[in-house]
Amino acid sequence: MQWRALVLGLLLLRLGLHGALWLIFGLGPSMGFLQRFPLSFGFQRLMGPDGPASPAPGPADRPGTPGGPTGPSWLQSPGPGAPAGRQRAPRRPRPGVCGPAHWGDVLGGRGRGPDEYERRYSGAFPPQLRAQMRDLARGMFVFGYDNYMAHAFPQDELNPIDCRGRGPDRGDPSNLNINDVLGNYSLTLVDALDTLAIMGNSSEFQKAVKLVINTVSFDKDSTVQVFEATIRVLGSLLSAHRIITDSKQPFGDMTVEDYDDELLHMARDLAVRLLPAFENTRTGIPYPRVNLQTGVPPDSNNETCTAGAGSLLVEFGILSRLLGDSTFEWVARRAVKALWSLRSNDTGLLGNVVNIQTGRWVGKQSGLGAGLDSFYEYLLKSYILFGEKEDLDMFDAAYRSIRSYLRRGREACNEGEGDPPLYVNVNMFSGQLMNTWIDSLQAFFPGLQVLMGDVEDAICLHAFYYAIWRRYGALPERYNWQLQAPEVLFYPLRPELVESTYLLYQATKNPFYLHVGMDILQSLEKHTKVKCGYATLHHVIDKSKEDRMESFFLSETCKYLYLLFDEENPVHKSGTRYMFTTEGHVIAVDRHLREAPWKELFPEEGGRGPAGKPTHRPKAHDVKVINSSSNVVAQWKDHRP
């Protein structure tokens, strides 16, 4: 079977001494900020509040479980009270291997014999092949970008089949799939800025920055989703601004003649237009949408998803710290704390949809995919950037709950009895299984596990998503792991599996992940390339297409593929530590972002000052811009406990 052969291939690629030495000396320049998290190629099972979170023995088809699934024993909820003594303690696993009861069995994988995988994966990835794949990834970006500029700019997106541009759907305001994202502000160009820099194209980067400065305005009658505008547009403006003003210029000369912080001013202008979302909510959780000219629409929905409301802190925090204005970070952090306060007292889990006025959970599903994914991601990344211990404390607690209630299967990935581990969707209050599907957004989670040091679990979970990719040449939007079939069949060129592949390669240096990247590249070229770009797959089985190329294809998918094969990229070699936002925008992790100058004046975030007098948050107007390249602290504050 395909996965048994793949396991044999992985065994041949065990990291051994090379992986051990790599981990001993750290993850390299681009990952150096992770030193707080110990890395080990043996599982370090995280402890729940009441001890180890172990799967309970017993049948899976419990009363009350939706659909009454049968089969793998890990369908049973592993609550804190579950007995653990009857489960055999696993032997210490070997590095980089996903175990005898592998995902091929669960997925019913069909495939080739072990000899093919031995031939394909056992050798090192030749430098010539790596260069070829790097150039292919660059060519993929260039083909999409050039066609966008030729056929779609200044509209938001490219229709790659008809070779035309796409903007907001003015005729149908209820078409949220389009209108949440497209704001009539040249989205694809803005979103792709830092990819141009990472690929070393200084002339096109400089040209694109000038185009954005001269042609893009946010004074538009567009109602957009706060989350999408923040991660795609605000994040890209901040990333490009930091690249331009970086005195070291690691990507080549990306300076822009006569640049006067215009991108930073544009970022502030956009953020100010998003601020009404945070007003007039009883909980502090923002409305999901705003009109960029008029604020929150009169008929606005009072329900929002946890990820949409709770994944604004990285971009808003960066903006606050560059401007010296606490407003943006304050509202984003208040939203995170409000959501965190609503978690279940029993499980520590959050739901996926909440009412912003009452704080009542409308969607009680807790999982790792749509509605929750980037909330967890930004708890950790906010700590990495800003060094606020409360962010790390929240992430650690969330990860314990995830491991206790969402993770099913045996203790170790590749040793012991039972089924290989999987993270499922459960009821936030009871931990009971709610359904038997996962969505493609969950493929980001192995990358997040790499960032926090749980590399072994990341290896095994990544293998599950790659098994699905190998089966269909793409990741279906939703996959039923019990029926072993897609439930929602489209694939919109998402980057999550590529991102996790890239981060796992950076953590392990296992050439297996280069082969995975090559598979993904070749699948994209074969199944999604059309006349003027790359198109969404409407159906992952018959490979029919939809006429849409979302902006994240250029800002994330192409970028991570390129970086996977470009070992000498400044992201890896410049000595600067970098982190990627949830939209893939690169941010240098430096001392300046650990500074919050307002804390000396407003130590309690608008509460009481040092003299016991009431303090007030600064307003988001008439603020002085702080040049990001001139405000450096002499010594980095180490926030490790």
Q: Give catalytic residue positions.
A: 228, 373, 477, 496
User: What is the spatial distance between Cα 228 and Cα 438, in angstroms, rounded to a whole number?
Assistant: 22
Whole-angstrom distance, CA of residue 202 vs CA of residue 197: 6
End-to-end CA distance of the chain: 46
Rounded to an integer, what distance in angstroms lies between the CA atom of residue 332 and that of residue 376? 14
Q: What is the C-alpha to C-alpha distance for residues 544 and 508, in angstroms, rounded to an integer?
A: 36
Listed in sequence order, the residues at least 6 apart from 61 whose beta carbon sits closer than 8 Å to its beta carbon are 68, 69, 70, 75
Q: Which position has the token pair 């400089």?
A: 206
- C-alpha distances (whole Å) from 410 to each of 53, 158, 581 are 11, 45, 32
How far is residue 598's CA from residue 480's CA, in Å, rounded to a whole number?
49
AA letter at 225:
Q
CA distance 608 to 16: 55
Helix residue spans in 63-107 (DSSP H): 103-107
- CB count, 10 Å around CB of 635? 6
Neighbours of 114 (CB within 10 A): 17
Tell me how crowded residue 455 is: count the other CB atoms within 10 A of its CB. Answer: 26
| Cβ contacts of 526 within 8 Å, gap of 6 or more | 473
Please name which of 164, 151, 154 lies closest in space to residue 187, comparing C-alpha atoms: 154
Note whether 138 and 132 are within 8 A (CB). no
